[in-house]
Amino acid sequence: MGEARRRGSRRERKESAIARKKALLIEAMGGRDPESDKALRAGLDLLKERLSDKDWAERRAKIISFLNDIPTRLDLASAKSIRVRDDEIGWYIFLAEQALDDPLCQDVNQAARNLPFISSLGKKVAYRRKIKGLDVKLEELLGKFKSQPDGLIFELLTAFSYAAEGWDVEFLPEAPGQKMPDLMVKKEGREIFVECKRQSRRSDYAENERNEFLRRWDTAREVVLKNQQKLWFKCDIHTEVNLLPDDFLKEVFEKELPLASNEAVIFDGPEATIAARQIDWYSVKRHFSQNRVKQNSPTLNQLLGGDWALPSDNVTVQIFARSSQIADCDSNILGCYIEDVDWACGISRNVDAEAAIEKKARDIKNLLAAAVRQVPTDKESIIHIAVETLEGNRVEQRRTEKVMESIPGFTTEKMDSCVRLHSFRPNASTDQLWDFEETVQTFNRSWASLEGIPEAVVLPKGSDLRDGNHWD
């Protein structure tokens, strides 16, 4: 008797073959990290557990439709962001799914920024039994706060961190007309009220600064294209970007290009210092003869710009290239890889003007004042505040100065044990999906006991924390 084997439909066989080829390619690129995948999967399952398959299928379809509708534009200042703001928690869930199930079809910059938080939740999910009211918060995350989830995610991370330290944790329900802290934690007869505040990602000033620079780059782009040299520029701007003439870069490039040497300072004035160097085209072409490179990735930037385009730098790239698509990606924008490059140019920017640094170094005074109003007057309390440190070292140093100025003047009759400031810097990386840094600064009264109080909330318990700030 023969044995009949079901091989599936033509479509099923095709999808299976594509999946096998993707798996082989991922393995050739260094393979998966089982422990990292396990943590991310656990965090993803936590976020999705209050979401039906039908609801998620509908939300996922809307995200894919949004991605597929993003127009391709040469003018970068008006280009549409890939970030899905109407359903940002859905976007985070989608990014986590892609990282686990289809990592070749992923936006690496958005993944690096958001997945560390989901992974951190996954590493602590075993402590959920110690958290009362968790289900309600997960429901709110998917509904009430779906377009602004970051603050609630920070609350969840803080709650899990206390639970991991052995505390019984309770999310306190909102009471109309009353100021209430987010959490109450109890351990060994000690009761503490906890309030969490998270600053928005970037200031409006920083976003406007970026767009003002891109407008000036767009104006100058034709000069660079006409010149045809493969160049990378490093631009240190000494004034606020909006004060530069619209044609500032254009005039510099028209006057100084073509570049007569391999590297030179082409402008040095009170407005800016601009250096230019020729891209090592031989090395670029040699790399592409052996590899494909993800579009809009730190790897591409560093390949072209070298040490002028580190993952933490603000860079803009203009490129003429032959590209290909990874098969079976939900959106072409996620699966685009560069096969070869015909021409490329890029610029790294840094704004060192004191006025700009001052405006981007946002103080936490208002967040702190709001947090103080939430905690009770006669109970031991702890305030956790989170900020993102994406504006460069000088900005973060100035922010630290502001914090040091604000908190000593923070006077209250309330029994505040301490204020903990959590500074986050997620980084896209050339050799891993994300790299995450968390600096924790503690401002406490001399009598306050910090035993058992979690320090880092994103980095896992037991992480080695070095002295100093990550921007020093």
Over residues 48-107, the pLDDT tens digits come to 999 999 999 999 999 999 999 988 766 777 778 889 999 999 999 999 999 999 988 999
The domain limits of the chain are: 27-125, 146-201+361-444, 204-356
Query: What is the predicted pLDDT for the residue at 2?
Result: 43
pLDDT at 462 over 70: no
Asked if pLDDT for residue 126 goes beyond 70, the answer is yes
Task: Give residue 13's pLDDT.
Answer: 54
Task: Report the pLDDT value the prediction gives residue 362, as an integer from 0 to 100.
Answer: 84
Burial of 462 (0-12, 13-18, 19+ CB in 10 A): exposed
Cα radius of gyration (the chain): 25
pLDDT of residue 371: 87
pLDDT at 282 over 90: yes
Res 469: pLDDT: 61
Percent of the chain with pLDDT strictly greater than 70:
86
Show the tokens assigned to 42.
Answer: 């656990």
Between residues 97 and 34, which one has the greater pLDDT? 97
- 3-state SS class at 339: strand
Whether pLDDT at 261 is above 60: yes
Grade residue 472 by pLDDT with cuts at 50, 70 and 90. Answer: low
CB 137 within 8 Å of CB 155? yes
Q: Which amino acid, residue 244? A: L
Question: pLDDT tens across 427-460, in order?
Answer: 777 666 678 889 898 887 655 678 889 989 998 7
pLDDT in tens, 409-430: 555 555 566 889 898 988 777 6
**Range in 18-27, 83-92, 230-239 with the lowest mean pLDDT:** 18-27
- CA 73 vs. chain centroid, Å, equals 23
Taking 50 as the threshold, does the pLDDT of residue 197 lie above it?
A: yes
Confidence of residue 200 (pLDDT cuts 50, 70, 90): confident
| More confidently predicted of 436 and 129 | 129
Q: How far apart are CA 452 and CA 357, in angstroms?
A: 37
User: pLDDT at position 466, please?
Assistant: 58
Residues 19-28 have a mean pLDDT of 55
Query: In the prediction, which pLDDT does 64 show?
Result: 96
pLDDT tens column, 137-168: 999 999 999 999 999 999 999 999 999 999 99
Tell whether the model's pLDDT for residue 250 goes beyond 60.
yes
CATH class of the domain comprising 146-201+361-444: alpha beta
Give the mean pLDDT of the chain: 87
Does residue 1 have a pLDDT over 50? no
pLDDT digits (tens, 9 = 90+) for 352-375: 999 999 998 888 888 888 888 888
Q: How far apart are CA 12 and CA 121, in angstroms?
A: 35
Q: Copy the structure tokens of residue 99.
A: 């990282």
